[in-house]
Amino acid sequence: MTDLPEIHGARACVFDAYGTLFDVHSAVGAMKAEIGPQADRLSQLWRQKQLEYTWLRSLMRAHRDFWSLTGDGLDFAMEATGLGDRPELRERLMDLYLRLDCYPEAPATLDRLRASGMATAILSNGAPAMLESAVTHAGLADRLDPILSVEDIGIFKPDPRTYQLACDRLGLAADAVCFLSSNAWDVAGAAHFGFQVVWINRFGLPRERLPGTPRAVIERLDELPALVGA
């Protein structure tokens, strides 16, 4: 953990979903032996293109929901890795994406936050049905309320309107929200908007050269409660 100040005055902890609560590489990981030596590259490309398409479609004003872009990203990744002729593999990977593993410390972290009186929520690019499936599969449904999808406004993060959605639904000012993400670009966008942001930097990545600075950097979700006084 860094020496940055604790989070003060937060009344809600709002979590990004994919990469933050849920391991986006667990879908391919579940089939790694079957996929073979291209598995890691497939998973990395899938995630890369999934995100790139959100940014590009937002700029193009050509919105499609995140489930569609997840499929588009997988199609690109499968073709690029020579796996494009395996439709049954695509179907199984898409199904697994609806049941991603959550990070093991997530349930206890959410329980501790809620026991302290902190509201907990998700704010995600994910389509509502995707989020409902992931949260239910991980056993987090009683630990998160509300679950917010950018589909309510039809544009992806880091557009400021996506972060405003959390303020509106929670009835809180931006500085009363502690926002958590493992994605450095999302961290920058949320901090630039005005949230108190904690970056979950699990892999020791460098900071993005973008406006917006996190208040703290941690490696695991279970470091969060101490930061917010829970």
**CATH (domain of 91):** 1.10.150.240
- What mean pLDDT is predicted for residues 122-145? 97
Choosing from 64, 97, 130, the residue where a domain stops is 97
Q: Which token pair is 207?
A: 């900071």
Give me the DSSP letters along 189-204: HHHHHT-EEEEE-TT-
Provide the number of structural domains found in the chain: 2
Question: Which of 45, 74, 97 marks a domain boundary?
Answer: 97
pLDDT in tens, 140-191: 999 999 999 999 999 999 999 999 999 999 999 999 999 999 999 999 999 9
Do 175 and 218 belong together in one domain?
yes
Q: Give the CB-side neighbour count of residue 193, counting CA atoms within 13 A.
A: 26
SS3 category, 181: strand
Same domain? 77 vs 185: no
pLDDT of residue 80: 98
Name beta bridge partners: 18. Answer: 22
- Whether this prediction's pTM lies above 0.75 is answered by yes
Same domain, 159 and 220: yes
59 and 139 fall within a common domain:
no
Catalytic positions are 16
Contact 174, 14 (CB under 8 A): no
Query: What pLDDT sits at residue 230?
Result: 85
pLDDT band at 65 (very low <50, low <70, confident <90, very high): very high
pLDDT of amino acid 6: 78
In this structure, are 61 and 131 located in the same domain?
Answer: no
Averaged confidence pLDDT in the chain: 96
pLDDT of 5 reads 55
CATH of the domain at 132: 3.40.50.1000
Instruction: Round to whole Å and give the CA distance between 31 and 27.
Output: 7
Quick one: 182 and 124 in the same domain?
Answer: yes
pLDDT over 50 at 130, yes or no: yes
121/51 same-domain check: no
Residue 65: which domain range?
A: 26-97
Q: What is the pLDDT of residues 79-91, one digit of tens each?
A: 999 999 999 999 9
